[in-house]
Structure 1
């Protein structure tokens, strides 16, 4: 009976540890995705600013 309780407790701790690892992996992947989306947004803003600057420079040249 004591062995069963010990084994059951170890199994539960192992399952919790595995779920924690999976959640951490998911959290890391989600954070990477958020970082990539932020970089995409910054690149789009930079491209838009560059296009505006090109238009301004073309306007001055005429």
Structure 2
């Protein structure tokens, strides 16, 4: 309908969408692996600690 430049543009947009899907998946996998490798420590709330920072009771 619009010729070769239009077809090239549409093909490029299709490749761009596919590339975004792949990179999004790679970023998600990287974040997921990073979250599993290090354990998360919960910081005690202010009400659970004394002024010296010692825990008053264990949960």
For structure 2, the residue ranges without an aligned partner over 5 or more in a row are 42-59
Root mean square deviation of aligned Cα: 2.1
Q: Which runs of 4+ in 1 moved over 3 A?
A: none
- Structure 1 stretches lacking a partner, 5+ long: 44-62
Q: Which has the higher contact order (CA 8 A, sep 6+)?
A: 2
Aligned residues: 41
**TM-score (norm. length: structure 2):** 0.59
